[in-house]
Amino acid sequence: MEQQLIDWLVARLGGDPRLDVPNGDDAAVLRPPAGRRTVFCTDMLCEGVHFPRAPDYDPRAVGHKAIAVNLSDVAAMAGCPEAAVVSVSLPREGGQRIGEALLEGMLAIAERFEMPLVGGDTTSWDGPLAVNVAMLGSVAAGRVWRRDGCRVGDVVLVTGAVGGSLAGRHLAVEPRVDEARLIAEAFTVHGAIDISDGLALDLSRMMQASGCGAELDLAAVPIHADAVAASKRDPAGGTPLMRALGDGEDFELLISLAADDAERLLEAIAAGRLAGWPGTPLTAIGRVVAGHGLVAVAEDGRRSSLPPTGYQHAFT
């Protein structure tokens, strides 16, 4: 029964000092941190699209991902996660078990980022599993990272490595919340976006929003080992570089800073001077230029137009 799952969850949640009203009311009531803006986002995960179809998905991993992709959106605004609400449509058969495992996966990552789950909604139906998370974050006024602020001359950096995520890593998303916070505290970032649909596509979106273009140094793109392995298994699916540019579901951050700031940031990380940096690679992969669209720069200096490859949901 739905009530059984809700009772289990309310007991499992405990309280949070940010909550004005205990869990279980019509809505959560929070004390917003003084002098900060509210970041607000949502992401829905659908069986067979964002995770495998039953019985091939692990509900705990789905729960982790549902929270993690929202944390990634909050991080891309330089926000501090504050609270989340969760909606799940569960199959009638096995719904209690799936719901509990899903929520355990959510709670594990939510606790790691000190972000309470404060409410939700459960439905049982004959359809596939769908999980929605909506998240609140906070950011100091004037310190929010936007995607439309990149400036000509900026250097573009990417966290981690990209490509091949669909082989399985896409479920174990590591949101770059701490990285964003540490960078935002010490540096001025002009533009930021998280890579959900593909490095090339999301970079082109950030450039379009900023009214600029970008040159991408192909040899600098940090290609994930998963992309190399995927190309070995399925050469027809593209080279490791093509996969790094277009696979998506990386949930790494693309950020754009003035060239000298980018240099200082990379030096600070290399020298261990950015206290608390989690060891995540940060790599300069290109520059913001006048114009529009993306230009690929090969190792030998040859330049070519780069299509904004990436994943787009198709319906007609």
Site for its own copies in 135-164 (CB under 8 A): 135-137, 139, 141, 144, 146-148
| Stretch of residues binding its own copies (CB under 8 A), selected from 155-163, 164-172, 189-197, 216-224 | 189-197
**Which residue lies nearer to its own copies by CB, 87 or 283?**
87
- Give min distance, CB of 5 to its own copies, in A: 8
- Give min distance, CB of 262 to its own copies, in A: 20
**Which residue lies nearer to its own copies by CB, 154 or 202?**
202
**Which residue lies nearer to its own copies by CB, 102 or 223?**
102
Within 13 A of 237's CA, how many CA atoms are on the CB side? 17
Among 25, 111, 185, 263, binds its own copies (CB under 8 A): 25
Compute the Cα dihedral for 315, 207, 247, 218 and give only its sign.
positive
> How far is 155 from 90, CA to CA, in rounded Å?
45
The phi and psi torsions of 213 (rounded to 5 degrees) equal -115, 180
Q: Which of residues 85-104 bind its own copies (CB under 8 A)?
A: 85-96, 99
Q: Report residue 251 as tokens.
A: 């949930």
| Stretch of residues binding its own copies (CB under 8 A), selected from 54-62, 122-130, 159-167, 265-273 | 122-130
Q: Which of residues 40-69 bind its own copies (CB under 8 A)?
A: 40-44, 46-50
- Give min distance, CB of 301 to its own copies, in A: 33
> How far is 82 from 247, CA to CA, in rounded Å?
30
**CA distance to 19, 27, 37, 54, 62, per residue, from 67 (Å):** 19, 19, 21, 20, 9
| Stretch of residues binding its own copies (CB under 8 A), selected from 27-35, 60-68, 161-169, 235-243 | 27-35
- Could you tell me how many residues of this chain bind its own copies (CB under 8 A)? 80
- Give min distance, CB of 193 to its own copies, in A: 6
- Give min distance, CB of 175 to its own copies, in A: 12
Phi-psi region of 252 (alpha: psi -120 to 50; beta: other; left: phi over 0): beta
**CA distance to 102, 147, 274, per residue, from 189 (Å):** 35, 10, 16
- Give min distance, CB of 278 to its own copies, in A: 20
For β-strands 293-297 and 213-217, DSSP reports them as parallel
Residue 21 binds its own copies, judged by CB under 8 A: yes
End-to-end distance of the chain based on CA atoms, in angstroms? Answer: 37
Among 63, 119, 213, 238, binds its own copies (CB under 8 A): 119
Compute the Cα dihedral for 115, 116, 117, 118 and give only its sign.
negative
Could you tell me if 28 and 119 are in contact, meaning their C-beta atoms sit under 8 angstroms apart? yes
- Give min distance, CB of 260 to its own copies, in A: 26
Mark 233-272 with x for binding to its own copies (rule: CB under 8 A) and - for no binding: ----------------------------------------
**CA distance to 45, 144, 240, per residue, from 247 (Å):** 17, 28, 10
- Give min distance, CB of 66 to its own copies, in A: 11
